[in-house]
Structure 1
Amino acid sequence: MNNIAENGAGFTAPAHGQDWRVAYCPPPEPPPGTPYGAEVVCVVGDRILLVSEDGQRWRLPSSRPEPRERCRDTMRREVREEACAAVVERRLLGFSRGVCVRGPQEGLVLIRAMWRAEVRLAPWDPHRGTVHRRLLSVGEAFRTLTIPEGLGPFYRKLFAQAVVSRTAVHHL
């Protein structure tokens, strides 16, 4: 498989006028840093669910934690709120560890839990800015996903950890 992140290998990505060094860290324990929520590869049968605010930029359901919320609770809430779906089964895939290396937040370390969740769709009731959802094959989902600059290997690793069919991953 080409260009897939190794555990702990970092990739630099610009975000909001800053540079972040992002690494994929395996479970079960999060690396040191400030908890920054959850991101979820939602699986419906052999399809991946993506959401969008504008119908142009597509992403996985994700968000920051609410006060005193555990990462798995953040994941369940975001799937319910952003994707109008219920988590049936879940598996922690790992963590993203982002270190700000340039900008006003230099030195800040943010940790996001990365999940795979089998979900059951509820009727679509868009709100909170997420107004579109799509179910796509693994390859289509990866090609449609708006991946932040420099983080292609990270998202390949995430999809490789999340999908059942390894054949599908070879086409990413």
Structure 2
Amino acid sequence: MHIATDGEAVDIITAADHWQSSWYPPSNLPAGTPHGSAGICVVAGQVILVSDDGRHWQFPGGRPEVGEDWSVTLAREVREEACATVHDSRLLGFSRGVCRRGPEQGLVLVRALWRAEVRLDAWTPEHEMVERRLVPPEGVWDALTIPTGWEPIFRRILVEADIPVGQSPRGGPVNP
């Protein structure tokens, strides 16, 4: 099972482009354009996943608005996408993506990843999300929609958040 190590470049190649993504610990903010925050949101021992189409599931998160820092972006995105309120959060680290080939070649984006303890609010999504669901920690890997190539980064995020990590090729959850 491949789990991204600090600074290791993981290739993510599609027909349109080639990105290299790397993991950085919270003490090592990498250079690049801030690209927002995403959170592994936990409530009553369950993890919140959100979907914009009812088929593909992800952690709540998104891009910063003008003047927002990493934690403010996290709180706003969790409120907008998961209809939940962050009451405690811990920065897990950063992912840094560098576009090597494609329409955005040369672009360097940095995203903060968090573990957040949240309170669920009424389901009244403000933007693109159409569903939220609660998943037990051991089911997160199987429930997530992980784009091809991103598996080592997602495993690192889950390890840092103390959530069981999926194993390839079967995709079943296992503990690291």
Using the size of structure 2 for normalisation, the TM-score is: 0.90
2:80 aligns with 81
1:125 aligns with 124
Give the CA deviation at 1:15: 6.1
Give the CA deviation at 1:88: 1.1
Q: Aligned partner of 1:21: which letter?
A: Q
The answer to whether structure 1 residue 42 and structure 2 residue 41 are counterparts is: yes
Using the size of structure 1 for normalisation, the TM-score is: 0.92
Cα 1:80–1:67 shift into 2, 3 Å: same
2:89 aligns with 90
> What pairs up with 1:10-159 in 2 under 5 angstroms?
10-14=9-13, 17-159=16-158
Q: List structure 1 segments (4+ residues) > 2 angstroms apart after TM superposition.
A: 14-17
Aligned length: 168
Q: Aligned partner of 1:171: which letter?
A: V
Which runs of 5 or more structure 1 residues have no equivalent in the other structure? none
What SS does the aligned partner of 2:174 have?
A: coil
1:171 aligns with 174
What SS does the aligned partner of 2:141 have?
A: helix
Cα 1:75–1:15 shift into 2, 3 Å: farther
Q: Aligned partner of 2:119: which letter?
A: R
Cα 1:15–1:135 shift into 2, 3 Å: farther
Q: Which deviates the most, 109-118 or 16-25?
A: 16-25
* Cα displacement string for residues 52-110 of structure 1 (whole angstroms, at most 9, x for unaligned residues): 01110000001110112111110000011100000011000000000001012212110
* Cα displacement string for residues 14-60 of structure 1 (whole angstroms, at most 9, x for unaligned residues): 46822110011101241011100011110112211000011100000
